[in-house]
Chains A and B, each alone.
Chain A
């Protein structure tokens, strides 16, 4: 479905084509979207395997064997190094590769984020390949990631479900054994949605029974709100709460006051 829209966009750029071609393409696109939506409603997540062409899957398989098979196995069946990817779905691949976590660079407490090594097209191909192995959570529909939901509901859901690991302001927090929940500022809405449905590493999966797709949309709306609206109180000191405030008052607050006391008493001499 995502692929279809890409193709429409690409054709447009070439300029010359039969006027009906556009209509036909839109019709096909709508049809596919509708089908995908129906599938989504049935399974609770978009099964976009139908929308990906065989050529994408083949290209994805090649990319996978070159870049991922050393850990995940030639057929993504998993090895002693890394888990099986059968059934993890396109969402997991889009999230893991899109945030640069995969291919994993080094063994550590958890996979690190880094600039993604692949273009979005290549990621889509990888995702299409993994999704073709077995159904799993798909790439979220853009209507859930537009950030136009209810920020207040989202904030409440966030406090109840996410704040214990990610901190109320989404500033991140420590877990056990060197693992941590990363800060959520600057994470794209699609990746936020995918993180919730796939539960990367130590994060729990929030399936549609825990938090409905609308609820996820609200959470995304809330995260977007606090990201786009700077704190009404001024600079945020990293949204790290009282620790940052305490360090600030000792170093800068009391520091400047002491400097001023030195100045006042020096003048008189």
Chain B
């Protein structure tokens, strides 16, 4: 082929695409959006991709879920199983269970898709969790992003709800037991509990309507909400611009990174396929939720090792940690505190997580905008609070698997639960203090490195006979990372405009003192220069 023809074809092709894009743009003005969005800059750091992992697992869930809806029947009508899994042949079960077994064994590729869907659901919630931890520990929730934190938190709750409703759909023994626990939780709510339970299950548990209702929630209402909140979440990310870690040339006003088009979009597109690939690999190698072993739901048998999916584990664990005899009869009603108190604790825990940004800004009195992320060590108190929260959650989570812990480590059930009950209270406190000490230790180390440089390990003998170790000075970039952060003074207790000292103000001053009492000021310019003169 000659050069001219090649050029001609490209010219022709370009004119074609150009014509097409012109056609579309004249009718939609989409170019404005593309230009605006394409110029957005995203900084490059691995921890900024965690939210994307959540997004991509959600897309995988949507794709595989659509496939599953083609074959799933959300009905609790009785049928006899005639599929190809021998140990269930001739057994009576609900149409929901029957169709899930058919997806697993008689629909081509069905088992793979089912397993991708389930693994993706686990990854979805897990990546949201990790993403939230990243946001928390770097302080990315501060003004102006408090609302987006709340939106993200809502997504976390919605994701758990999606997971739980989906987990219950096959109507197998394991998920049936999960529903029974939920039924117990609801019935434990004083006064209205039983009434709500009957409303939800359409009569006495288990009834025949719950699977159909959960299905509507699972494929219609909840996904619509998730999509809406994701859209809102992303709009806020674009509006606020992305946060970045401190570094030379990075300020509160700019973002250093790559533009969305073409670099970031290409990377993100590739990353989607990586996530999808990892999920497909996992689903083709590892069994998940083998309902064919669990069998159809039947209220009488309860299996050992009955557990919910991991993200509901903390709630299950909290129930197990509650002493079981906290129950009394009053006014002709049984008040099951052993169920109600855990629900209250769980709700409080979640509420504190949801409103943490507001709590912190109230305590610090900081109303400025923040676009530069904190290094966790420089906010010792916040990091310690986070560690305490993680410990609290982890103990609840561990309690959900107390029976497996007992058998695998040859301990007694009672011993494991007792130890976890103590840890639930002491663990967060210990974690708080240890983390805080570690953070402050690291700050001290940073400070000495910034002032004196790294220890090079080279010992030099001075002419006078004195031995010194040569310290290698930092380069400018490194030092910037170490010294450019802010600290706060504790708020002073001051009377309000009417000259009064209210309880709220006292509390705030007290909290603020607690928040900032141990802190190291960043290295000042004067100190730095003094440090340099030293060597």
Q: Are A155 and B295 touching (Cβ within 8 A)?
A: yes
Determine if B462 is an interface residue (Cβ-Cβ < 8 Å): no
CB distance from A235 to the nearest CB of B (A): 5
| Given A231-B290, A232-B111, A242-B308, A164:B407 Cβ within 8 A | no
Complex contact B303–A257 (CB within 8 A): no
* The residue from B270, B271, B307 contacting A242, defined by CB atoms under 8 A apart: B307
Taking CB atoms and an 8 Å cut-off, the chain B residues in 296-321 that contact chain A are 298, 300-311, 313
B304 to A173, Cβ gap below 8 A? yes
Nearest CB on B from A151, distance (A) = 4
Residue A106 interfacial (CB < 8 Å): no
Q: Are A178 and B406 in contact (CB under 8 A)?
A: yes
Indicate the member of B53, B173, B275, B407 with the most A CB atoms within 10 Å: B407
Query: Would you call A254 an interface residue if the criterion is a C-beta within 8 Å of the partner chain's C-beta atoms?
Result: yes
B278 CB within 8 Å of chain A: yes
How far, in angstroms, from A266 to B50 measured CA to CA in the complex? 15
Q: Which of B12-20, B33-41, B82-90, B192-200 contacts A (4 or more CB under 8 A)?
A: B82-90
Say which residue of B127, B274, B294 sits within 8 Å of A254 (CB atoms).
B127
Docked Cα-Cα span, A109 to B415, in Å, equals: 13
Known: A180-B407, A250-B126. A257 touches B53 (CB 8 A): yes
Nearest-CB distance from B500 to chain A (Å)?
51
Q: Is A181 an interface residue (CB 8 A)?
A: yes
Expressed in whole angstroms, the Cα–Cα distance for A174 and B49 within the complex equals 40
B119 contact from A222, A241, A249, Cβ within 8 A: A249
* Interface residue from B87, B105, B270, B294 paired with A154 (Cβ < 8 Å): B87
CB distance from B298 to the nearest CB of A (A): 7
> Is A26 an interface position by the 8 A CB rule?
no
Q: Which of B275, B282, B301 is packed against the most chain A CB atoms within 10 Å?
A: B301
- By the criterion CB–CB under 8 Å, are B289 and A265 in contact? no
Judging by beta carbons under 8 Å apart, are B308 and A163 in contact?
no
Distance in angstroms between the alpha carbons of A258 and B50 in the assembled complex: 8
A172-B127 contact, Cβ under 8 Å, with A246-B310, A249-B310, A258-B46: no
In the complex, the answer to whether B295 meets A168 with C-beta atoms within 8 Å is yes
Q: Give Cα A163 to B177, complex, Å.
A: 13
Contact of B413 among A168, A177, A239, A248 (CB under 8 A): A177
Contacts of B91 in A (CB 8 A): 152, 155-156
Interchain CB contact under 8 A, B406 and A180:
yes
Q: B98-154: which residues lie under 8 A (CB-CB) from chain A?
A: 104-105, 111, 115, 119, 122-123, 126-127, 130
Tell me if B292 counts as interface (CB < 8 A to partner A).
Answer: yes
Write the B25-46 contact mask toward A (1 if CB under 8 angstroms, else 0). Answer: 0000000000000000000111
User: Once the chains bind, are A152 and B88 in contact (CB under 8 Å)?
Assistant: yes
| CA distance in complex: A148, B90 (Å) | 17
Residues of chain B with a CB closer than 8 A to A160's CB? 298, 300-301
Please tell me if the beta carbons of A265 and B49 are within 8 angstroms of each other in the complex. Answer: yes
Q: How far is the CA of A168 from the CA of B290 in the complex (A)?
A: 10
Q: How far is the CA of A173 from the CA of B86 in the complex (A)?
A: 25
For chain A, residues 211 to 248, give those with C-beta under 8 angstroms from any C-beta of chain B. 222, 225-226, 231-237, 239-243, 245-248
| Interchain CA distance A171-B258 in the complex, whole Å | 51
Asked if B385 is an interface residue, CB under 8 A from chain A, the answer is: no
User: For residue B267, which residues in chain A have a CB less than 8 angstroms away from its CB?
Assistant: 264, 268
Q: A178 and B410: CB pair below 8 A? A: yes
Q: Check B123–A249 contact: CB distance below 8 A.
A: yes
**11 new A-B pairs (CB below 8 Å) besides A245-B122, A258-B50?**
A160-B301, A164-B304, A173-B407, A177-B413, A233-B115, A243-B305, A243-B401, A243-B404, A253-B119, A253-B282, A254-B123
Nearest 3 interchain pairs by C-beta? A173-B304, A246-B310, A233-B287
The chain B residues found within 8 Å of chain A, CB to CB, are: 44-47, 49-50, 53, 85-91, 104-105, 111, 115, 119, 122-123, 126-127, 130, 173-174, 258, 263, 267, 270-271, 274-275, 278, 282-290, 292-295, 298, 300-311, 313, 400-404, 406-407, 410-415
Can you offer 19 A-B residue contacts whose CB atoms are under 8 A? A155-B91, A160-B301, A164-B303, A168-B295, A174-B406, A226-B87, A231-B293, A234-B283, A235-B287, A236-B287, A243-B400, A246-B309, A257-B127, A257-B278, A258-B50, A261-B46, A262-B46, A264-B49, A268-B267
